[in-house]
Amino acid sequence: MRFLIPLLLPLAAFSAEKPNVIFILADDLGAHDLGCFGSRFYETPNLDQLAARGTKFTQAYAASPLCSPTRSSILAGQYPARTGITSPVCHLPEIQLEKKLVKEGPGSRIRFAHSVSRLKSEYFTLAEAFKEAGYATAHFGKWHLGHNLPGNPGDHYEPKDQGFDFDFPHTPSAAGPGGGYLAPWKFIKDPAITGEPGTHIEDRMSQEAAKYIDAHKNAPFYMNYWAFSVHSPWNARPDYIEHFKAKADPKDPQHNPLYAAMVKSLDDCIGRILKAVDDAGIAEKTMIVFYSDNGGYAYPPKKTDPEGYADIPATSNLPLRSGKASLYEGGTREPFLFAWPGRVKAGATSDILFQTVDFYPSLLSLAGLKPKPEVKLDGLDQSAALLGGTSPRDRVFCHFPHGAANRDSMIDGFNAGTYVRKGDFKLIRFYALNDDGTDHLELYDLKNDPGERRNLAKEKPELVQELNGLITGFLNDTEAVVPKLNPKYGAVKSNDPLMGWKNRNCSGTVRDGILTAKGTGADPFLGMGASLKGASILKFRLRSATAGEGRVTLVSGNPAKDSEAVRFPYTVSAGGEWQEISVNLKGPATILRLHLPSATEAVEFDWIEVQSPGAQPRRWEF
């Protein structure tokens, strides 16, 4: 039950001159995905117009390389390490309110964090602060900070429970309104929210947002427009796809027509919001924030799409390294625009350090308000810096206690770790990533090496020691859950060399870290209980003397339904060289079977990894 908190300010007549706040948050938009941030392929005239009205910030960071943690940092003003929301699991039915390490098991050499799955109701959110000060409050779009379960009257995790008077379209979905961006939509709780077939959800939402702006133009309001774009699912308006297909240049790192079409729909909605502000005559008393929740998806889309763009990386964050889910710069460096005509310098560029935890105290300060003294905030008041002054921030932290257990993840930098950037130098501590289980340290000079290619850790030991000490202090202060080497990993491996895999119609022996399987009967395979909940990826490193066709089979575990097994093929080349194979799977399933590409020849496996939504990657190194 939410406890009562004294009013933010003494009761007084509220001035109509208090500024409005429109907070626009894109989903998965990269640091260079706007024309004003250097993109030559994407078309963002409305966001470029917003940049011309205000200031562009080039050193802005999300609090996490994934979405829900960053969203929590905006509304609570606290680091994800403190709240415990460190992974995007807030759409799942499980209500987990205490941060902790996962239970020890044989699937991984590292124990990762078990993320909190709801923004707890005791936080006095940024929306509640504005609401208590007399503002109307509204949330449009993606929430992904928790939903209430049917039959649980004690749940208070949705926008209207966290300070928002209005919520549209009110969906627990983590990625779009379900079924794609184009109507008809699924997973929207209000059956009255519909659109003509083919209507883009951002068009529908921004129309409602424009109506809200007009209806509240005579009194102060705080409005979140948290777009679904440009997160998967990978679909867009067909006419926009055709437009970008005609201009795509494979020599440009950004050349995926499908993703470009998604960016254009995002920009369309920004234009509608800007027009609504102008038409209402409130531009000079409305501050507008534009930000992204994490880095751009710099990898090929996970799901095959009918247009055939699945093999082209959605975007590129170059010169920044990697992207979404990574602790390298591409994972947390964001495009940040801030406009407030007459108060913010137009057409300016700023290189101050800024992080999403700073919005809570900064926006309140700009509105003439102060946070409650009893509210714990990690953010700094950057109101003066946003108006062109100096910044009190000289460092940023990011704690991500999830990821792959080894350095050869399909995402560069998708490993459990913490980083600190102080000035131009950034130190990343990757937990238990060295072969002996110790932490792996990487130091980069971002001024001279923005792509983080030259690790200076051995060259600057004193600086490493200083920055590593800052990380330790940060972890202690936030009471962070810190990943650790799994002490049972070696014991499990010695007791069961196959580490839980069952060999069926084949032999299975492990020697020198290699699992060798050889068929002894028809259709040999390795089987494992999988508990896959959705679209997943099976990866493995394999060596075979001969070419062949293998397959992966997902079954329910119910013998009566084994005929309904879903099969996914893979191909092995000849030559006896190691090959890394990735197979896209569509769950759910309780049993996974990895069928060998040959019924008679020996096949060697170096490692096997399963990545499934809502779960930590499971990796077996033999």
| Domain-wise residue ranges, the chain | 20-83+119-319+328-385, 399-485, 497-621
Sequence-distant (6+) residues with CB within 8 A of 349 are 55, 56, 57, 58
> Per-residue confidence at 240, pLDDT binned at 50, 70, 90?
very high
**DSSP-derived secondary structure for 127-157:** HHHHHHTT-EEEEEE---S--PPTT-TT---
Residues 543, 615 contacting (CB under 8 angstroms): no
Sequence-distant (6+) residues with CB within 8 A of 225 are 22, 23, 24, 25, 140, 141, 205, 206, 209, 269, 273
Is pLDDT larger for residue 272 or for residue 493? 272
Average pLDDT over residues 350-362: 98
Vertex 246: Cα angle to 244 and 247 (nearest 5): 65
Q: What is the mean pLDDT of the chain?
A: 90
Amino acid at position 265, single letter: S
Residues 468, 426 contacting (CB under 8 angstroms): no
> Per-residue confidence at 233, pLDDT binned at 50, 70, 90?
confident
Average pLDDT over residues 239-245: 96
From CA 58, how far away is CA 37, in angstroms rounded?
8
**DSSP-derived secondary structure for 96-139:** --S-EEPPP-TT-SEE-EE---S--TTS--HHHHHHHTT-EEEE
- Dihedral, 45, 46, 51, 52 alpha carbons, nearest 10: 80
Residue 55 pLDDT > 50: yes
The CATH classification of domain 20-83+119-319+328-385, taken from the options 3.40.720.10, 3.40.50.620, 3.90.1520.10, 1.10.10.10: 3.40.720.10
pLDDT reported for residue 383 = 98
Residue 17 buriedness (CB in 10 A; 0-12 / 13-18 / 19+): exposed
pLDDT reported for residue 180 = 85
Sequence-distant (6+) residues with CB within 8 A of 247 are 41
Structure tokens at 583: 């197979």
Residue 197 pLDDT > 60: yes
Provide the CATH topology of domain 497-621. Answer: Jelly Rolls (2.60.120)
**Omega into 230 within 30° of 0, i.e. cis?**
yes
Flag the least confident range among 20-34, 453-467, 484-498, 511-525: 484-498
pLDDT reported for residue 269 = 97
Residues 391, 353 contacting (CB under 8 angstroms): yes
Distances (CA, A) of 99 to 327, 439, 478, 571, 599: 21, 22, 12, 42, 47
Residues paired with 399 in a beta bridge: 418
Q: Helical H runs in 8-125?
A: 45-53, 67-76, 80-83
From CA 473, how far away is CA 479, in angstroms rounded?
10
The answer, as to whether pTM is greater than 0.85, is no
pLDDT, one tens digit per residue, over 152-175 is 888 999 999 999 999 999 888 777
From CA 538, how far away is CA 595, in angstroms rounded?
12
Residue 286 pLDDT > 80: yes
Sequence-distant (6+) residues with CB within 8 A of 20 are 216, 220, 221, 222, 223, 282, 285, 286, 287
pLDDT, one tens digit per residue, over 377-398 is 999 999 999 999 999 999 999 9
pLDDT, one tens digit per residue, over 91-115 is 888 899 999 998 766 557 899 999 9
C-alpha Rg value of the chain to the nearest Å: 25
Vertex 139: Cα angle to 134 and 142 (nearest 5): 160
Domain 399-485 class, CATH top level: alpha beta
Q: Tell me how crowded residue 226 is: count the other CB atoms within 10 A of its CB.
A: 22
Distances (CA, A) of 538 to 165, 433, 551, 603: 44, 21, 11, 17
